[in-house]
Amino acid sequence: MNQIVLATHNRHKVEEFQSIVAATRPDLIVVAYDGPEPVEDGVTFAENALIKARAAAEHTGLPALADDSGICVDVLGGAPGVFSAYWAGHAKDAAANLNLLLDQLSDIRDPHRAAQFVSTIAFVVPGDASRESVVEGVWPGRLATAASGEGGFGYDPIFIPDGQDADAERTVGEWTALEKNTASHRARAFEALAPLLAEL
């Protein structure tokens, strides 16, 4: 079996990526990164994804993937964006981040609650700078006024993706893992990445 390292210590992301990758490359095993976290001092998703992928590739000697993702709210000018994981402070408290965002938007009603999940994936092959690539996936939707559902992680319980039946809309927190993994921003980014992984 071939291995590729995902530059994260977040087990939820590792599980999600393994499920997405398995759909097209069942022979490719996604393993978690066990090295030190690099300083993510980029100001875009792409810059931070490359920082993480390069660090993981150098530390492990394996081809590396790194996802930098977040939620971008139109009325906030695209924030939290690259600060999504730290929106309520450096503790990376997902519940605090979600609650702060809800509080900030408490007086905002539809149709002004539009938001997008954005995933930027960097792919780095150690020792081969010519094989660095960055792809992006965008999942449009809007934010609910309260959290709903126990599934997913991060901002999933308040994100309502576009394209659902108006009478049966659900937050991603109410979706199954399979539903999410076939439609999410990461799945969309991975679709663009799949031809590159086919070369491994």
Confirm if 46 and 52 have CB atoms less than 8 A apart.
no
Confirm if 176 and 19 have CB atoms less than 8 A apart.
no
The per-residue pLDDT for range 180-189, each reduced to its tens digit, is 988 999 989 9
The per-residue pLDDT for range 47-83, each reduced to its tens digit, is 999 999 999 999 999 999 999 999 999 999 999 999 9
* Catalytic residue of the set 68, 93, 107, 165: 68
Map residue 78 onto helix, strand or coil.
coil
Q: How far apart are CA 87 and CA 100, in angstroms?
A: 8
Map residue 76 onto helix, strand or coil.
helix
Tokens of 69: 């993702």
The per-residue pLDDT for range 10-30, each reduced to its tens digit, is 888 888 888 888 887 889 999
Classify domain 2-197 at the CATH class level.
alpha beta
Q: Which residues are annotated as a binding site for Mg(2+)?
A: 68
Query: Helices (DSSP H) in 29-147: which residue ranges?
Result: 45-60, 94-104
The model's confidence at residue 9, banded by pLDDT at 50, 70 and 90, is: confident
Residue 121's CB: how many other CB atoms inside 10 A? 28
Q: Exposure pattern of 63-100 as b/e (b: 16+ CB <10 Å)?
A: bbbbbbbbbbbbeeeebbbbebbebbeeeeebeebbee
pLDDT of 12 reads 82
Q: How far apart are CA 66 and CA 51, in angstroms?
A: 8
The per-residue pLDDT for range 156-181, each reduced to its tens digit, is 999 999 999 988 999 999 999 989 98
State pTM to two decimals. 0.89
ω before 80 within 30° of 0 (cis)? Answer: yes
Confirm if 50 and 120 have CB atoms less than 8 A apart.
no
Q: Which residues are annotated as a binding site?
A: 8-13, 68-69, 153-156, 180, 185-186
Q: Is the pLDDT of residue 1 over 90?
A: no
pLDDT of 11 reads 83
Q: Exposure pattern of 167-190 as b/e (b: 16+ CB <10 Å)?
A: eeebbbbbbeeeebbeebbbbbbb
Q: Is 68 an active-site residue? A: yes
The residues spanned by each domain of the chain are: 2-197
pLDDT of 22 reads 85
The per-residue pLDDT for range 118-155, each reduced to its tens digit, is 999 999 999 888 889 999 999 999 999 999 999 989 99
